[in-house]
């Protein structure tokens, strides 16, 4: 690689492994932080905190996947110039669209499995006979998208995540989402499409699901407010918006030379 022509983008987990090498070799580089709660993972490669801090302070640019992640970067590294942190909204794949809705509650068992197992038990007294619970696991993406297209309620078990994509995919697929934000998803958890529950608050989680079932049965998914909320999510987290932000990033990269 030619350090006078190349610009390297590293994920945050490799900031320790390769970031210091790039810095010492004089390369221009950016760090793409997809989870602000993984910043400490850069220490896994034998570098100390001071060295990783130096890598962040000397990065030409830092990409951030969410508002929460940006805040975490500035909290962990307060000396990093905020002007070089660039927000890039991820996009949801075009395959996630509403279909013919059924009385389905879906969730992903791999996310906080102890929580989901307990909630399935607590929900027994509140689940009408004509509703069913469908786990999404060990599926190729198009099959998961098919279930979400038919899902009316999706349960989110995000846990300290930089963004949290599954709840957004479910909301764009036309489901009402109930559950954890994982912190990173707080920016898009807006009623009536998404209803936040504090991590571990099983009582409220159960009751909010019961309320969501009643709301769906009463026609929530077809209301103007719900459809408008979904449309805003599609626009904000669409491919075109992500492309505009990446193009702005490329222009900033060009300015580094």
Model confidence, pTM:
0.93
Question: What's the pLDDT score for residue 139?
Answer: 92
Asked if 7-90+239-255 and 104-236 have one fold, the answer is yes
pLDDT tens for residues 72-106?
A: 999 999 999 999 999 999 999 999 999 999 999 99
Q: Output the six-digit token pair for 133.
A: 């619970």
Cis peptide before 192 (omega within 30 of 0): yes
Output DSSP code: residue 174. Answer: T
pLDDT tens for residues 213-233?
A: 999 999 999 999 999 999 999
For domain 7-90+239-255, is the CATH number 3.40.50.10090? Answer: yes
Question: What's the pLDDT score for residue 234?
Answer: 97
**How many other C-beta atoms can be found within 10 angstroms of the C-beta atom of residue 214?**
12
What percent of the chain is predicted at pLDDT more than 90? 91
pLDDT tens for residues 126-175?
A: 999 999 999 999 999 899 999 999 999 999 999 999 999 999 999 999 99
Question: What's the pLDDT score for residue 2?
Answer: 80
Average pLDDT over residues 22-29: 95
Angstrom distances, CA of residue 56 to CA of 11, 21, 24, 60: 12, 13, 13, 9
Share the mean pLDDT of the chain: 95
Q: Which fold has domain 104-236?
A: Rossmann fold (3.40.50)
Whether 205 has a pLDDT exceeding 90, the answer reads yes
Under the banding of pLDDT at 50, 70 and 90, the label for residue 197 is very high
Contact 80, 102 (CB under 8 A): no
Could you tell me where the DSSP H helices lie in the chain? Answer: 19-25, 49-58, 67-76, 113-122, 141-150, 165-172, 202-217, 224-236, 239-255
Question: What's the pLDDT score for residue 168?
Answer: 98
Question: What's the pLDDT score for residue 41?
Answer: 86
Ranges of each domain in the chain: 7-90+239-255, 104-236
Contact 19, 41 (CB under 8 A): no
Question: What's the pLDDT score for residue 1?
Answer: 78
3-class secondary-structure state, position 166: helix
Question: What's the pLDDT score for residue 176?
Answer: 99
């Amino acid at each position: 690689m030619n350090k006078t022509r190349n610009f390297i983008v590293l994920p945050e987990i490799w900031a320790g492994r390769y970031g210091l090498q790039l810095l010492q070799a004089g390369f221009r580089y950016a760090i793409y932080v997809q989870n602000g709660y993984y910043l400490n993972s850069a220490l896994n490669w034998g570098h100390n905190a001071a060295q990783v801090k130096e890598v962040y302070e000397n990065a030409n640019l830092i990409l951030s996947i969410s508002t929460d992640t940006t805040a975490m970067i500035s909290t962990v590294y307060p000396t990093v110039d905020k002007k070089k942190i660039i927000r890039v909204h991820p996009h949801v794949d075009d395959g996630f669209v509403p279909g013919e809705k059924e009385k389905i509650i879906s969730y992903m068992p791999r996310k906080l499995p102890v929580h989901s197992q307990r909630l399935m038990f607590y929900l027994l007294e509140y689940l009408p006979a004509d509703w069913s619970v469908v786990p999404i696991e060990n599926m190729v993406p198009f099959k998961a998208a098919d279930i979400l297209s038919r899902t009316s309620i999706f349960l989110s078990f995000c846990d300290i995540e930089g963004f949290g994509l599954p709840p957004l995919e479910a909301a764009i697929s036309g489901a009402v989402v109930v559950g954890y934000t994982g912190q990173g998803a707080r920016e898009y958890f807006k009623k009536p499409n998404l209803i936040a529950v504090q991590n571990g608050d099983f009582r409220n989680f159960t009751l909010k699901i019961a309320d969501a079932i009643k709301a769906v049965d009463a026609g929530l998914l077809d209301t103007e407010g719900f459809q408008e909320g979904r449309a805003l999510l599609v626009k904000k987290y669409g491919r075109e918006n992500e492309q505009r932000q990446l193009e702005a990033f490329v222009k900033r990269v060009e300015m580094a030379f």
